[in-house]
Structure 1
Amino acid sequence: MITQGMAVLINYGMYLAPGLLLFGLWFALTPKSLTGMRILILLVAFVLMRDVMTPLGMWSLGSEVQLAFTANTCVLAALGSLSVLLIALLMRVAPDLSRLIVWSKGHRASGLTVGIAVGCLIGVPLRFYQGIEASAIPGYWVWLPGMVVLAYGANALEEVLFRGFLQGYLEQHVTPLRAALASGVAFAACHAFLALSVTQLGWPVLLFTLIEGLACALVRMRYGVLAATLTHGTAILLVAVPQMA
């Protein structure tokens, strides 16, 4: 499993390298004074990183908003861990953007509890709608720890970009509520290519991501990025299943 996982990750990295190199150069050449443009570059680069996983067979999206991720738990754990490392790298290379992040607001324990609860409100109904029982899926419990790392690690990166950088930047120019709404809509819009081209599943994907994006944005407005990460990660974890061979 480890050897196979390394092959998958190497292939993914080599496939991404030319595009990420161009985005890196674009980001480096963009003046720091153009904060909005720098955030946009990072968002589009992330969309590339996420969406190319579909043609590479690392994950797939079903018609009932069912997310099927690779059954290789090593790949899942590695991708989640690399996402956390990318957050640390961004904090170092773009300290001006990192200052936009509101990690926590108000009572932290309450925020984290609300984050998990809102994630359950999104994910649990979909899980029942899908009619999926974990016990009926071969290898589910072996796969689950790696999926936990991916769900919270990778979505921490996504939340840093959308709710940390973008929403934090927008709050400097508009009201917190309008910034949250814009962040949620932007999140759904950045799934348009995935919904309409990569998977061709259309409006159900956009509706789900709009609901999820708005929920995370409102949680971020009240409690910060950490709570929003729990909302996002919990929702994805509840609707995810391992890919069947």
Structure 2
Amino acid sequence: MIAQGMAVLLHYTAYVAPGVLLLGLWFVLTPRSLPAMRILILLVAFVLMRDVMTPLGLWALSDAVQIAFTANTFVLAALGGLSLLLIALLAQVAPEWSRWVVWSRGHRALGLAVGLVVGCLIGVPLRLYQGIEAHGIPGYWVWLPGMVVLAYGANALEEVLFRGYLQGYLEQQLTPLRAALISGVAFAACHAFLALSVTQLGWPVLLFTLIEGLACALVRMRYGVLAAILTHGTAILLIAVPLTV
């Protein structure tokens, strides 16, 4: 599994590298005095890294907004861990943005509980609608630990980008509510290519991501990025299944 996973990760890296290198050059050439543009570049880079996973067979979407991820737990854990490393790297590359990443606001334990509950409110109805029963899915429990790492690790990166950098930056210019609404809508808009071109599943994907994006943005506004990560990661974990070939 590890050897196969390494081959998959190397193929993914080689495939996405040209685009990431160009976006990296764009980022480096953009002056630090233009943080909005630099944040936009990071969002485009993330969308690229996420969306190319579909044609490479690392994940797939169904028309019922069920997400199937590769059954290779090593790949899942590696991608989740890499996402956390990228968060640390971004903190070094743009340390001045750290002030926008409000990790916790208000009562931390309450915020984390709210994040978990909101994630369940998004994910549980879809899980029930889709009829996902863990005991009926071959290899589900072996696959689950890697999926947990991916769900919370990869979505931590996404939340830092959208709810930390973007929403935090906007809060310096706008009211917190308007910043949250823009963050949520931007999150859904950044799934348009995935919904309309890569998967051709259309409006169900956009509706789901709009609901999820607005929920995470409002949770972040009240309780911080950590709570939003719990919301996002929990929702994805609840509707995810192993990808069967």
TM class by smaller structure: over 0.9
Residue correspondence of structure 1 range 68-107 to structure 2 within 5 A: 68-107=68-107
Separation in 2 of the partners of 1:85 and 1:108? 24
Separation in 2 of the partners of 1:30 and 1:244? 42
On the 8 A contact 1:90/1:98 being kept in 2, the answer is no
Residue of structure 1 in register with 2:169 after alignment: 169
> Cα offset for 1:98?
2.1
Give the unaligned 5+ runs of structure 1.
none
Deviating 4+ runs (over 2 angstroms): none
Separation in 2 of the partners of 1:193 and 1:216? 21
> Cα offset for 1:132?
1.4
Residue of structure 2 in register with 1:217 after alignment: 217
On the 8 A contact 1:77/1:146 being kept in 2, the answer is yes
- Cα deviations by residue, 1:25-50 (Å, 9 ceiling, x for unpaired): 10001000101000000000000000
What amino acid is the match of 1:63?
A: D
Residue correspondence of structure 1 range 30-45 to structure 2 within 5 A: 30-45=30-45
What amino acid is the match of 2:79?
A: L
Give the unaligned 5+ runs of structure 2.
none
Residue of structure 1 in register with 2:115 after alignment: 115
SS of match in other structure, 2:100: coil
What amino acid is the match of 1:176?
A: P
Residue of structure 2 in register with 1:14 after alignment: 14
Separation in 1 of the partners of 2:17 and 2:227? 32
Separation in 2 of the partners of 1:185 and 1:17? 28
Separation in 1 of the partners of 2:116 and 2:15? 34
Q: CA RMSD in A?
A: 0.5
Separation in 1 of the partners of 2:77 and 2:103? 23
Q: Does 1:64 align with 2:64?
A: yes
Residue correspondence of structure 1 range 130-149 to structure 2 within 5 A: 130-149=130-149
What amino acid is the match of 1:239?
A: I
Separation in 2 of the partners of 1:244 and 1:58? 11
Identity of aligned residues (%): 82
Separation in 2 of the partners of 1:123 and 1:129? 10
How high is the TM-score relative to the length of structure 1?
A: 0.99
- Cα deviations by residue, 1:43-83 (Å, 9 ceiling, x for unpaired): 00000000000000000000100000000000000000000
Residue correspondence of structure 1 range 169-208 to structure 2 within 5 A: 169-208=169-208
What amino acid is the match of 1:83?
A: S
Separation in 2 of the partners of 1:12 and 1:88? 21
How high is the TM-score relative to the length of structure 2?
A: 0.99
